[in-house]
Amino acid sequence: MFLNLVVDMASIRVRTIIAVVAGFVGILMAGHPAWAQFGPSEPDLSGSWLGLMGEDVPERAVPGPLPGDFTGLALNAAGKSLAASTSMARFTTIERQCALWPPQYLVLGPMPLKIAADTDPITGKTIAYRIGAWEDRATTVIWMDGRPHPSENAPHTKGGFETGKWQGNTLTTFTTHIKAGIIRRNGAQVSDRATLTTHYIINGDLLTILMFIDDPVYLSEPQAFSRDFRLINNANALSATGPPCIPSFEGAASDAVAHYLPGTNPMVGELKKQHGIPLEAAAGGAETMYPEYRKKLKDKYVRPEKCLSDCGPGFGPPPGVGPPGMGPPGAPPGGARGGPPGAPPGGKPPR
């Protein structure tokens, strides 16, 4: 009897010690979530991703898209009207200078991506990916924990509200609660009712981001954009936050709203002037996105005798030719969008 009691007490002590040790191990592990990451692995989006660019440099970086060039955009009648009435001078007001581009700028702009993962300390699972900000784009958070999207009364933020799920090597996300903003840096835009479906496709050290923008207000069908990135080894090469932005007075009163009255935007004819593209094609629309449109355009397109801009290497424009204000500092007054330094004046037309 006594012996049994001693054995029982000893058993209780051993179990208690085991329980205490297990508990403390639990606490220790809580501070080291990496220990818990032994489950089935899924791809990792985190890292520093460098944007790969080629012939899209003028579109994504400098000098930017040609004014009045809305080709390849699925704008409906309202979208075309809004794009044609938008003056980029509106972005010179104090209130607009630091307002940032919307989250779709991820695939529109030239900047690299710094992506970090936030993990659950218990399970080690990824709660969210954070795509770091740049000087003209806010932080984007991709929630991976299955949380629902907020109600329609919740604020629309600079980064939007994005949730995602892995399917193989592709992270597919859905973004709501974005602000109204551009889809091309020349005035084409979508409304605050737009949503984004984005596929982050990982293939080795390459990342392709394929984004579809749906906007019931300004687009007649989903607009697709894509962009490629390469993982770079130095994880600290990029910053996760953009630099501060300090707006300054640029001559526009804070209550000034720059815009073009219907039919008065002088930039609308720029594509016709530079490349002979008919106005109806330059205005964009879903039809202009597809190859069949070339047949329709065939009889209306008149190839310019000389290339005036964007002529490619060795095909620079003649001095003083090109849209005003498009050239680098010190360029001739007519601008110099096309040829590289030293290109022969009045270069040949592209093939």
Partner 1 sequence: MTIRAIRYLPALLCALGATWALDCQRPAFAQQLDARDLGDGMELFQIRPNFHVLIGAGANVAVQVGVDGAVVVDSGDAAHADRLVAEIKKLTPNHLIRYVINTSADADHVGGNEKVSKIGKTLLGDSPFGGPPNDGAAAILAGGDILTRMSNAGYPEGAWPTELFVQPRKYMYLNDEGIEVLHQPSAHSDADSIIFFRRSDVVMAGDIIDIRRFPVIDLANGGSINGEIAALNRIVELAIPSIPIVSREAGTVVVPSHGRLLDQTDVVEYRDMVTIMRDRIQNLMKERKTLAQVKAADPALGYKERYGSDTGSWTTDMFVEAVFKSLAADKSKQR
Using CB under 8 A, which of the segments 88-96, 280-288, 318-326, 339-347 binds partner 1?
Answer: 88-96
Q: Which stretch binds partner 1 (CB under 8 A): 47-55, 70-78, 228-236, 328-336?
A: 70-78
Contact 196/174 with Cβ under 8 angstroms? yes
Query: How far is Cα 145 from Cα 122, in angstroms, rounded to an integer?
Result: 13
Q: Which residues of 80-119 are buried (b: 16+ CB within 10 A; e: fewer)?
A: bebbbbbeebebbbeebbebbbbbbbbbbbebbbbbbbbb
Calpha distance 326→329 (Å, rounded): 9
Task: Compute the distance between CA of residue 196 and CA of residue 176 in angstroms, rounded to an integer.
Answer: 7
User: How many binding residues for partner 1 (CB under 8 A)?
Assistant: 67
- DSSP per position, 290-342: STTHHHHHTTT----SS--S---TT-PPPTT-SSTT-SPTT--TT---SSPTT
Candidate list 6, 62, 98, 235; residue touching partner 1; CB under 8 A: 98
88 binds partner 1 (CB under 8 A): no
Taking CB under 8 A as the rule, does residue 7 contact partner 1?
no
Under rule CB under 8 A, residue 131 binds partner 1: no
Q: Say how many Å lie between the first and final Cα of the chain, rounded.
A: 103
Interaction between residue 15 and partner 1 (CB under 8 A): yes
Q: Are strands 161-167 and 140-143 parallel, antiparallel or unpaired?
A: parallel
Q: Which of 6, 16, 237, 344 binds partner 1 (CB under 8 A)?
A: 16
- Nearest-angstrom CA–CA distance, 200 and 214: 17
Q: Report the nearest approach of partner 1 to the CB of residue 254 (Å).
A: 7
Shortest CB 26 distance to partner 1, Å: 4
The residues in 166-205 that bind partner 1, with binding defined as CB under 8 A, are 179-180, 191-193
Tell me whether residue 53 or residue 240 sits nearer to partner 1 (CB atom). Answer: 240
Sign of the Cα torsion 97, 99, 104, 107 reads positive
The residues in 242-261 that bind partner 1, with binding defined as CB under 8 A, are 242, 244-247, 254-255, 257, 259, 261
Taking the C-alpha atoms of residue 338 and residue 314, their distance in angstroms, rounded to an integer, is: 9
Please tell me whether residue 6 binds partner 1 under the rule CB under 8 A: no
Q: Which is nearer to partner 1, 205 or 250 (CB)?
A: 250
**Using rule CB under 8 A, residue 348 touches partner 1:** no
Residue 1 interacts with partner 1 (CB under 8 A)?
A: no
122 lies in the site for partner 1, by CB under 8 A = yes
> Nearer to partner 1 by C-beta: 155 or 168?
155
Is there binding between residue 267 and partner 1 (CB under 8 A)?
no
Give the max Cα distance, the chain. Answer: 112
Residue type (1 letter), 78: A
Using CB under 8 A, list all residues that contact partner 1. Answer: 12, 15-16, 19-20, 22-24, 26-27, 29-31, 76-79, 81-82, 85, 90, 93, 95-96, 98-100, 118, 121-122, 127-128, 130, 133, 135, 138-139, 141, 150-159, 179-180, 191-193, 217-218, 241-242, 244-247, 254-255, 257, 259, 261-262
